[in-house]
Amino acid sequence: MVGLESKTALVTGASRGIGRATALALASAGARVIVHYSKGISEANAVVTDILAMGGKAEAVGEDLSDSGGPARLADRVRASVGTELGRVDIQRRAIAAPARWIMAPKLTSVLS
């Protein structure tokens, strides 16, 4: 995999399954990973622990994207997490079974730009 040092990745649905595998792969390539979860806080924290154990950078951010305000709240939380140090999300991977309208809400999309 291409080196992703200095890149930040947001992986929605990263607490288990394909999302977990994606988060771990991105971290192993050097990306800082924002591990999104809806209800699986303990699973998300386990992914973060695994990434930190391999020397990576990660944090868990929870938000229910099925709620109409969820994408906007997630965008706000990601923006606050990324802050001025890293400036933006470079990689976004949707790994949840949800309609794209939940993920690609204007506020979330603006964080990714």
Q: What is the pLDDT of residues 73-111, one digit of tens each?
A: 888 888 888 875 556 777 776 655 554 444 444 445 554
pTM of the model: 0.78
Question: What does the block give as tokens for 31?
Answer: 């990306």
Pick from 42-46, 65-69, 76-80, 81-85: least confident: 81-85
Q: What is the pLDDT of residue 88?
A: 72
Domains of the chain: 8-112 (3.40.50.720)
Question: What does the block give as tokens for 71?
Answer: 């994408």
> How many percent of the chain have pLDDT more than 90?
42
Partner residues linked to 60 by β-bridges: 35
Where is 109: in which H helix or E strand?
Answer: helix 106-112
Question: What does the block give as tokens for 62?
Answer: 């929870």
Q: What is the pLDDT of residue 20?
A: 93
